[in-house]
Amino acid sequence: MEKSKLPFVQHFYKLCEQPKCRLKLLITIIVTILSAIFGSLAIDYNKMFENANMTDHQLDQAKLLGQVGGAVGSVFSAIIGIVITFIVILLISKIMKSDTSGKSIFSATLSYTLVTGIIGLIVIVIQQL
Protein backbone atom coordinates (compact mmCIF):
# COMPACT_ATOMS: atom_id res chain seq x y z
CA MET A 1 0.00 0.00 0.00
CA GLU A 2 1.25 3.47 -0.85
CA LYS A 3 1.81 6.06 1.83
CA SER A 4 -1.16 8.38 2.07
CA LYS A 5 -1.60 11.63 3.92
CA LEU A 6 -5.31 11.06 4.52
CA PRO A 7 -6.28 10.66 8.18
CA PHE A 8 -6.90 7.13 9.52
CA VAL A 9 -5.86 5.41 6.27
CA GLN A 10 -3.77 2.84 8.11
CA HIS A 11 -6.62 2.12 10.50
CA PHE A 12 -9.12 1.51 7.67
CA TYR A 13 -6.60 -0.57 5.73
CA LYS A 14 -6.12 -2.74 8.83
CA LEU A 15 -9.91 -3.07 9.23
CA CYS A 16 -10.18 -4.18 5.61
CA GLU A 17 -7.52 -6.85 6.14
CA GLN A 18 -8.70 -7.97 9.60
CA PRO A 19 -12.34 -6.99 10.12
CA LYS A 20 -13.79 -7.00 13.63
CA CYS A 21 -17.50 -7.82 13.66
CA ARG A 22 -18.52 -9.13 17.07
CA LEU A 23 -18.06 -5.95 19.08
CA LYS A 24 -19.59 -3.81 16.32
CA LEU A 25 -22.58 -6.14 16.10
CA LEU A 26 -23.11 -5.99 19.88
CA ILE A 27 -22.84 -2.20 19.99
CA THR A 28 -25.11 -1.87 16.94
CA ILE A 29 -27.75 -4.05 18.58
CA ILE A 30 -27.56 -2.02 21.81
CA VAL A 31 -27.84 1.30 19.93
CA THR A 32 -30.75 -0.06 17.90
CA ILE A 33 -32.59 -1.23 21.02
CA LEU A 34 -32.01 2.11 22.76
CA SER A 35 -33.25 3.99 19.69
CA ALA A 36 -36.33 1.79 19.54
CA ILE A 37 -37.10 2.31 23.23
CA PHE A 38 -36.63 6.08 23.11
CA GLY A 39 -38.56 6.28 19.85
CA SER A 40 -41.54 4.37 21.24
CA LEU A 41 -41.53 6.46 24.41
CA ALA A 42 -41.57 9.67 22.35
CA ILE A 43 -45.03 8.93 20.96
CA ASP A 44 -47.93 10.61 22.77
CA TYR A 45 -50.49 7.82 22.82
CA ASN A 46 -53.04 9.87 24.79
CA LYS A 47 -53.21 12.41 21.97
CA MET A 48 -53.25 9.66 19.36
CA PHE A 49 -56.21 7.83 20.91
CA GLU A 50 -58.16 10.84 22.27
CA ASN A 51 -60.94 10.48 19.68
CA ALA A 52 -61.10 6.68 19.84
CA ASN A 53 -63.82 6.55 22.57
CA MET A 54 -61.81 4.07 24.66
CA THR A 55 -62.07 3.39 28.38
CA ASP A 56 -59.04 4.05 30.57
CA HIS A 57 -58.26 0.33 30.73
CA GLN A 58 -58.42 -0.01 26.94
CA LEU A 59 -56.27 3.10 26.54
CA ASP A 60 -53.61 1.66 28.88
CA GLN A 61 -53.61 -1.61 26.93
CA ALA A 62 -53.31 0.23 23.62
CA LYS A 63 -50.41 2.33 24.96
CA LEU A 64 -48.57 -0.75 26.21
CA LEU A 65 -49.16 -2.62 22.96
CA GLY A 66 -47.99 0.39 20.95
CA GLN A 67 -44.82 0.84 23.00
CA VAL A 68 -43.85 -2.83 22.97
CA GLY A 69 -44.85 -3.32 19.34
CA GLY A 70 -42.97 -0.20 18.28
CA ALA A 71 -39.80 -1.22 20.09
CA VAL A 72 -39.85 -4.81 18.80
CA GLY A 73 -40.76 -3.73 15.28
CA SER A 74 -37.96 -1.16 15.25
CA VAL A 75 -35.38 -3.75 16.27
CA PHE A 76 -36.53 -6.19 13.59
CA SER A 77 -36.62 -3.50 10.92
CA ALA A 78 -33.09 -2.42 11.86
CA ILE A 79 -31.85 -6.02 11.52
CA ILE A 80 -33.59 -6.32 8.13
CA GLY A 81 -32.01 -3.00 7.12
CA ILE A 82 -28.54 -4.29 8.02
CA VAL A 83 -29.11 -7.44 5.97
CA ILE A 84 -30.43 -5.52 2.95
CA THR A 85 -27.55 -3.02 3.09
CA PHE A 86 -25.05 -5.88 3.32
CA ILE A 87 -26.59 -7.69 0.34
CA VAL A 88 -26.65 -4.54 -1.81
CA ILE A 89 -23.02 -3.69 -1.05
CA LEU A 90 -22.01 -7.32 -1.58
CA LEU A 91 -23.77 -7.42 -4.95
CA ILE A 92 -22.15 -4.16 -6.02
CA SER A 93 -18.72 -5.43 -5.02
CA LYS A 94 -19.28 -8.68 -6.95
CA ILE A 95 -20.46 -6.78 -10.03
CA MET A 96 -17.36 -4.59 -9.81
CA LYS A 97 -15.25 -7.77 -9.43
CA SER A 98 -13.79 -6.57 -6.14
CA ASP A 99 -11.62 -8.88 -4.09
CA THR A 100 -13.09 -7.64 -0.81
CA SER A 101 -14.28 -10.44 1.47
CA GLY A 102 -17.83 -10.80 2.71
CA LYS A 103 -16.64 -10.37 6.28
CA SER A 104 -15.06 -7.02 5.43
CA ILE A 105 -18.26 -5.89 3.74
CA PHE A 106 -20.34 -6.99 6.74
CA SER A 107 -17.96 -5.12 9.05
CA ALA A 108 -18.29 -1.99 6.90
CA THR A 109 -22.09 -2.37 6.92
CA LEU A 110 -22.05 -2.58 10.71
CA SER A 111 -19.82 0.51 10.89
CA TYR A 112 -22.22 2.43 8.65
CA THR A 113 -25.25 1.28 10.65
CA LEU A 114 -23.54 2.07 13.94
CA VAL A 115 -22.63 5.62 12.91
CA THR A 116 -26.09 6.40 11.52
CA GLY A 117 -27.72 4.68 14.51
CA ILE A 118 -25.77 6.77 17.02
CA ILE A 119 -26.70 9.95 15.15
CA GLY A 120 -30.34 8.86 15.13
CA LEU A 121 -30.21 8.06 18.86
CA ILE A 122 -28.76 11.49 19.62
CA VAL A 123 -31.53 13.13 17.58
CA ILE A 124 -34.24 11.14 19.39
CA VAL A 125 -32.81 11.99 22.82
CA ILE A 126 -32.55 15.69 21.93
CA GLN A 127 -36.15 15.72 20.69
CA GLN A 128 -37.35 14.27 23.99
CA LEU A 129 -35.64 16.97 26.05
pLDDT in tens, 25-84: 889 989 988 888 888 778 887 787 778 788 888 888 888 888 888 888 888 888 898 999
pLDDT of residue 8 exceeding 80: no
State yes or no: pLDDT of 112 exceeds 60. Answer: yes
The rounded distance, in Å, linking the Cα atoms of 40 and 69 is: 9
46 burial level (CB within 10 Å; 0-12, 13-18, 19+): exposed
The mean pLDDT value of the chain amounts to 84
pTM: 0.74
**pLDDT for residue 27:** 92
